[in-house]
Amino acid sequence: MLNFRNAWTLGSFLALGACAADEDDTGGNADSGTDDTATGASMTEPTTTATATETDSASSGADTTTGGDAACFGTGGPNKDTEACVANEDCLSGLCEIFTDAPLNADAVCGPMPAMSADGCNTRITGTLFDFSTRMPIEGATMKAAAALQAITSPSGADAIVSATSGADGRIDATSEKPISAAIAIIALVEAPGFFLTATGLASPAEEGGSAYAVGVGNHDLWTVPTASLDLWSTGMAADPAVLPELLPLGAAGGVVGFVRGPDGLPIAGAVVEAVEPGGNSIIRYVAADDTIVSDVTSENGLFIIVGGAPLGEDFQASVGGTVVAGGRAGTANDVVFTLIMTTE
């Protein structure tokens, strides 16, 4: 599977995303998909070149380095720069300029391959920062891309691999200054005044068990949750006798917030979210239209909350009318709220 426009599950402890139920989930993205990568690039052999002096776009036919051997993962698609694309693997450069996953932005075209050095290719991050409650783009929010292990152990103090501030349309566009090396995944940590620090997965390594990344990420819808919403939902969750006090408040005590949506980005009502494997400690609740907490199905806003989940992650699925329509993997960490966006076909 893994078309980073609809999916991404990550075999780790992070809330990185979701995939359509009819895909073969082998470890990719959570919310918008890769084709068998959580990087938005196909798992083909990397482009390798040796000893050149200038950096050029892969789309121009000139793979170059500054010396030595280098690898650029995910390159080699059929489309040249400026041609239309729907995924990174469509592009010779390995980079489709996607800013929104659901729905996919209509102006997506293949962009030039990021700079290449003796160590490999840099990675370009394109996306849009959204208010989780309104689903509207946010201007002036900051995004810090960080290694997954730092993001969960010290979310506010994690080193920035790449950072950016969203424009009036909520979009960000930033490229790493050197090839990224990080185990497990890279995570977008987004914050803004009035919002709680929120984590959304960006990409997994280009090779299983590796630490190098493709030239483009696979997830482009990035979120931050209003503190007021978390406070309201925490109050509602506290009234539930099944929710232990130490699991609250949301954010400070971790937790996952998510929603079930269609490929058009619109929320899906009537979805049941549950752990794939029974017997875990996860408690799943839903946010009604009036922001009260209920225990049956998603309302018209598609929202759900998970607390008490396994820190190292567990798999979840969403069903409508008894049919599984999407799935994803989620974990939790203190002082940050993770998102889990389940996107159906």
Where do the H-state alpha helices sit in the chain?
Answer: 148-153, 227-238
* pLDDT greater than 60 at residue 56: no
- The pLDDT value recorded for residue 28 is 30
* pLDDT greater than 80 at residue 317: yes
Cβ within 8 Å of residue 138, ≥6 positions away: 129, 130, 131, 166, 170, 192, 195, 224
Give the integer Cα–Cα distance in Å for 166 and 127: 9
In a domain, 84, yes or no: no
Give the integer Cα–Cα distance in Å for 288 and 63: 52
- The pLDDT value recorded for residue 70 is 63
pLDDT in tens, 114-148: 998 888 999 999 999 999 999 999 999 999 999 99
In a domain, 325, yes or no: yes
**pLDDT bracket for residue 69 (50, 70, 90):** low
pLDDT in tens, 149-202: 999 899 999 999 999 999 999 999 999 999 999 998 999 999 999 999 999 999
- The pLDDT value recorded for residue 66 is 32
Show the domain range for 234: 229-343
* pLDDT greater than 90 at residue 329: no
In a domain, 122, yes or no: no
The structure's pTM equals 0.84
In a domain, 34, yes or no: no
Compute the 3-state secondary structure of the chain and give helix, strand, coil in percent, each to the nearest 5.
10, 35, 55
* pLDDT greater than 50 at residue 55: no
Percent of the chain topping pLDDT 90: 73
**pLDDT bracket for residue 288 (50, 70, 90):** very high
Strand partners, 79: 91
In a domain, 279, yes or no: yes
Instruction: Extract the tokens encoding 105.
Output: 């932005």
In a domain, 280, yes or no: yes
Instruction: Extract the tokens encoding 1.
Output: 């599977």
For 147, half-sphere exposure in the C-beta direction (CA atoms, 13 angstrom radius) is 12
Cβ within 8 Å of residue 80, ≥6 positions away: 59, 91, 92, 110
CATH code: domain of residue 324:
2.60.40.1120
In a domain, 185, yes or no: no
> Burial level of 288, CB count in 10 A (0-12/13-18/19+)?
middle
- The pLDDT value recorded for residue 18 is 52
* pLDDT greater than 70 at residue 58: no
In a domain, 275, yes or no: yes
Q: Is the dihedral of CA 130, 134, 140, 142 positive or negative?
A: negative
Number of domains in the chain: 1
Q: Give the mean pLDDT of the chain.
A: 84
Query: Closest by alpha carbon to 155, among 299, 325, 15?
Result: 15
